[in-house]
Structure 1
Amino acid sequence: MKEQNNRNESMIEGRNAVLEAFRSGKTVDKLYILDGCQDGPVRTIVREAKKRDTILNFVTKERLDQLSETKKHQGVIAMTAAYEYSDIEEMFALAEKKGEDPFLILLDNIEDPHNLGAIIRTANLAGAHGVIIPKRRAAGLTATVSKTSAGALNYTPVAKVTNLAKTMEELKGRGLWFVCADMDGDAMYDVNLKGPIGLVIGNEGEGVSRLVRETCDFTASIPMRGEIDSLNASVAAGVLAYEIVRQRTR
């Protein structure tokens, strides 16, 4: 499991420790709670989690024991972000500071932390002003993501949103238009990728989800000449990001 791979850096166990994490303002991505446990401290933790829109998972004792490192979880384990999330306003401020049109990368259902880290690295090198990820069905800012980003996480803002499609609609109102990677789309060389833009990347298995794809203004495909028909998500993000760079700097 991803949580186990990163647990030394991103897991908090025990009722008091988890409650204190919430009260101190620490970002908690996911909360695992013993199913059926309804005592006072646990209800308080659940209430704090709901205030912050933390993802709640009610699981068996066996599952908690599997995740636990201390074996003293008291029915509660929190998965926390290794880095603090930014907000979208920081991305617009960064673009304005550089005197550039906003260039954002949005990730739909990227669950592999190595892919997320690699995309953040590419975003930084390609001059993107930020990366936006959804709260559900997505990797968070774990230690593995930080390591794979090769330091880019210190410079490239990453925001987490509840609803990706709704966020895109709001950003359209601020002048952005969106292009998603899709093998059935127009060749990327034929799509105008200049101006304020959001590049949307889905995972290898399912691609961009239907609602998010329908919210995009254009679809762009990467020309392929081999026998297989798909690229790793981070590679696809890199190819399209640098087509945006090429068009912006022509």
Structure 2
Amino acid sequence: MAGNSQRRNRRTSNKKGATVGSGGQRRKGLEGKGPTPRAEDRKGHKAYRVSNAMARQAAKRKPVARRGGKGQSEMVVGRNPVYEALRDGVPATTLYVQQFIDNDERVREALNLATGRGNIHIMEAPRPELDRMTNGLNHQGLVLQVPPYEYAHPEDLAAAAFDDHDDPLIVALDGVTDPRNLGAVVRSVSAFGGHGVVVPERRAAGMTAGAWKTSAGTAARTPVARATNLTRCLEQYQKAGLTVVGLSADGETEVHELEALSGPVVIVVGSEGKGLSRLVGETCDFLVRIPMPGGAESLNAGVAAGVVLYEAARRRRG
């Protein structure tokens, strides 16, 4: 009959109360879990993912050096680019090779060059890891890590020349953004006995693997300095006794007429399209032009710098 069941713990009343063996669970439940965490601290929240992504990006970025210092490391990807960088003497620290890669001629040549250097680590890595390192670029199983370039300070270029009892011969680039032009200028400075190249810290080409390749190895012995503010850098050179000569299509004097090239000088070359910026042009002691009887409107930075450096070297020999 109802109410006469022999089953244990059978409820025989509708009265609510603690269950046998509850052990104070209800009391613990009333204590709560504390304050609600911030959105950035909750793993399932969008703000948490955004915050983590920003932190990872910040960790990858390197601080910009204010006095010389180092640039940023670079990855050269692809079989032909990696082979050409190793062949042309671009400095490198590590060659990453994909596991189970098809061992074609380019791969073998790259491995032989890296092994022959003696100071390049060769590491095998799975394809997903190389995809992550290169942000999904078509690396073809080869990735070369180029170390950060160690920039000189602009003052060091003139000081080194004076220490050797030479008149400084320096090229400054204003608004030149193509690394190949920078590499060509470095090559010309080396060829004509210059003492270095100055580039602005912002909106300008840096010493990347492309610049190293174009320099044909001369970047190893020709310093490149980085200036926080190019105009102030030129003013400091003037205070040190250097003449600042800017190349401009509107220059009143032709290059071969300028006597100042035989002394301590900074040659300022602008971009092929815009030329010198206004403040840099106003800072120059002289604005000179390269005569072009063939009718060409302009020369790229590498060629223009080479012409003026040749004239400076000719005068100094005389």
Same fold (TM over 0.5): yes
1:189 aligns with one of 256, 260, 272: 256
Q: What displacement does 1:97 show? A: 3.9
Tell me if the contact between 1:134 and 1:164 (Cα under 8 Å) persists in the aligned partners: yes
Q: What displacement does 1:48 show? A: 6.4
1:202 alignment partner AA = G
- Unpaired runs of 5+ residues, structure 1, are 1-35, 56-67
Q: Does 1:144 align with 2:205?
A: no
Distance 1:246 1:47, change over 3 A: closer
User: For residues 49-84 of structure 1, what are the alpha-carbon distances to aligned partners after superposition, in whole Å with 9 as ceiling and x for unaligned?
Assistant: 3786999xxxxxxxxxxxx9633689xxxx986521
Q: Does 1:70 align with 2:138?
A: no
Q: Mapping of 1:170-209 within 5 angstroms?
A: 170-185=236-251, 186-192=253-259, 193-209=261-277
- Unpaired runs of 5+ residues, structure 2, are 1-48, 72-128, 136-144
Size of the aligned set, in residue pairs, is 199
Q: Does 1:88 align with 2:154?
A: yes
Q: What displacement does 1:114 show? A: 1.0
Identity %: 42
Structure with higher RCO (Cα < 8 A, 6+ apart): 1
What is the aligned partner in structure 2 of residue 228 from structure 1?
Answer: 296
Q: What displacement does 1:144 show? A: 1.1
The alignment yields a C-alpha RMSD, in angstroms, of 2.9
Distance 1:210 1:81, change over 3 A: farther
Q: Does 1:117 align with 2:178?
A: no
Give the structure-1-normalised TM-score. 0.70
2:309 aligns with one of 235, 241, 246: 241
Distance 1:96 1:206, change over 3 A: same
2:199 aligns with one of 130, 133, 137: 133
Aligned counterparts of 2:158 and 2:228: Cα–Cα separation in 1: 19
Q: What displacement does 1:130 show? A: 1.0
Rg bigger for which structure?
Answer: 2
Aligned counterparts of 1:51 and 1:220: Cα–Cα separation in 2: 33
Tell me if the contact between 1:91 and 1:130 (Cα under 8 Å) persists in the aligned partners: yes
Tell me if the contact between 2:179 and 2:205 (Cα under 8 Å) persists in the aligned partners: yes
More strand by proportion, 1 or 2?
1
